[in-house]
Structure 1
Amino acid sequence: MPKLIATPSRIEAAGHPPKLIDEFIGRVNSGDDSISIARMLSPQGWSEPGQTPEFDEYTVVLAGELHVESQETTQVVRAGQAIVTKAGEWIRYSTPDLPTEYIAVCLPAFSPDTVHRDPDGAGG
């Protein structure tokens, strides 16, 4: 039988100023460890430490723009665009110019134990 997800769970976010993470599907809200799907509401000026996650991440920007920094470049993903990052690649997300709303899908599901954030905010 299909499982209705009536409401998301609010998840604490890394970075500053604080962004909002509403997990619809994942380890916390639905008990799924194979995938996570969350809506992110990120204020202008937000940034987080770099990371080298053990999961692929598929991101669709709904409003604003998301900056995605890798070891090679920084890409600006605007509303109506998407980006795919692969497990094992160093990346850092930020929204320096605009408040941004986006959907993030992680395979397997996001976990604080598998994101591997830079310890001091240094990166790449």
Structure 2
Amino acid sequence: MPILIEKPTVIPAAGTKPKIIEEYFGRVNSGNEQISIARMKSPAGWIEPAQQPEFDEYTVVLKGLLRVETKDKVYDVKAGSAILTKSGEWIRYSTPFDEGAEYIAVCMPAFSPETVHREQ
């Protein structure tokens, strides 16, 4: 039977400026531990602490530009593009340009504060 999600749950975000996380599926909104799907809205100048998560994250940028840093390379992911970061990789997300970014993030297994392993 289909499960209708009437609205997302807004989740508190880490980072230097307020970022909006709207979880549609995941541990909080639907009780799903296998996958989380959320829309993110990051303002210009937002930067998140580096992390080494225990989940793969599939990210599709809808508007603006999302910067994804690894130990070896910096990726600028533009609207209409996507990036996959793998479990165990050191990564840092930011939106350093004026337009900020809006994107969909899909995490498998579902995101949790206990498995993201953010740096202090």
- Offset at 1:99? 1.5
**Distance (Å, rounded) in 2 between the aligned partners of 1:50 and 1:74:** 13
Partner of 1:101: 102
**Distance (Å, rounded) in 1 between the aligned partners of 2:119 and 2:31:** 27
Letter matched to residue 106 of structure 2: V
**Distance (Å, rounded) in 2 between the aligned partners of 1:16 and 1:40:** 15
Alignment of 1:103-118 (within 5 A): 103-118=104-119
Gaps of 5+ in 2: none
Q: Deviation per CA, 1:2-53, whole angstroms, max 9, x where unpaired?
A: 0101100000000011100000000000000000000000000000100000
TM norm structure 1 = 0.95
Partner of 1:39: 39
- Offset at 1:95? 0.0
Partner of 2:84: 84
**Distance (Å, rounded) in 2 between the aligned partners of 1:90 and 1:17:** 21
Q: Percent identity?
A: 65
Gaps of 5+ in 1: 120-124
Q: How many residues end up aligned between the 2 structures?
A: 119
Q: Deviation per CA, 1:72-121, whole angstroms, max 9, x where unpaired?
A: 011000000000000000000000102210000000000000000012xx
